A and B are shown apart, each in its own frame.
Chain A
Amino acid sequence: GQQLNQSPQSMFIQEGEDVSMNCTSSSIFNTWLWYKQEPGEGPVLLIALYKAGELTSNGRLTAQFGITRKDSFLNISASIPSDVGIYFCAGQLLQGAQKLVFGQGTRLTINP
């Protein structure tokens, strides 16, 4: 089935550093979503992207919908301890069933 390759799988950074992660696929998507999940909780929607090339911000978070429609990027600037968690990308395919396909997640750890 369709797969999203999310990288990196994990990141260990210092507080204050910027973070970048991305998702790529061989399939074309019409929507990209980015979620954050904390221990014991469900994923929380951070950013939604609908158009190729779109750049959207939510506070210190910025995400982009790739021009090819096959990838997306998430950046976190000036990380703080509460950014710790697992970040997931999710895409809705341009064609076929309108279900979301999820990446494997990026686990973010921050050293204060």
Chain B
Amino acid sequence: KAGVTQTPRYLIKTRGQQVTLSCSPISGHRSVSWYQQTPGQGLQFLFEYFSETQRNKGNFPGRFSGRQFSNSRSEMNVSTLELGDSALYLCASKTGSGAEAFFGQGTRLTVV
């Protein structure tokens, strides 16, 4: 069974631009969560999607948004990028009812 796939692995963007990250969950998993990981703040929860609906949301500004498609694939968008948005963005999938979440390798975003 294929794992969680995130694309791209690396991104460099300029301040003010926007970016879209993609996540394909494990087959059969209907829940996708997004996390931001930085050295200073650790793993911070962004949001979770389940069956195309946002089920939970963390404390991030509205510049961070996401969506989920009918095949459970998810995208995360960050608009008006700031230097502080530089981080490893991780996607995790789970079946939907359980707690066990499986992570992708992440997308390393650098904002210059």
The interface of chain A, by Cβ under 8 A from chain B, is 1, 30-31, 33, 35, 40-45, 48, 88, 90, 92, 97-105
Would you call B90 an interface residue if the criterion is a C-beta within 8 Å of the partner chain's C-beta atoms?
Answer: yes
Give A39 Cβ to nearest chain B Cβ, in Å. 11
Q: In the complex, A66→B58 CA distance in Å?
A: 27
Q: In the complex, A65→B72 CA distance in Å?
A: 32
Structural contact, B59 and A33, CB atoms closer than 8 A: no
Structural contact, A100 and B99, CB atoms closer than 8 A: yes
How many pairs of residues, A versus B, come closer than 8 Å at their CB atoms? 55
Stretch at the interface among B13-21, B63-71, B79-87, B100-108: B100-108
A42 (CB) vs chain B CBs: closest residue: B103
- Beyond A42-B90, A42-B104, 19 additional contacts (C-beta under 8 Å) are A33-B99, A33-B100, A33-B101, A41-B105, A41-B106, A42-B4, A42-B6, A42-B105, A43-B103, A44-B103, A45-B101, A90-B101, A92-B99, A97-B56, A98-B55, A99-B48, A100-B33, A102-B35, A102-B45
Tell me which of A43, A92, A102, A104 has the highest count of chain B C-beta atoms within 10 A of its own C-beta. Answer: A43
Give A34 Cβ to nearest chain B Cβ, in Å. 11
The contact sample of 14 A-B pairs, CB cut-off 8 A, is A1-B59, A33-B100, A33-B101, A35-B103, A42-B92, A43-B43, A48-B99, A98-B55, A99-B45, A100-B33, A100-B99, A101-B45, A104-B42, A105-B42
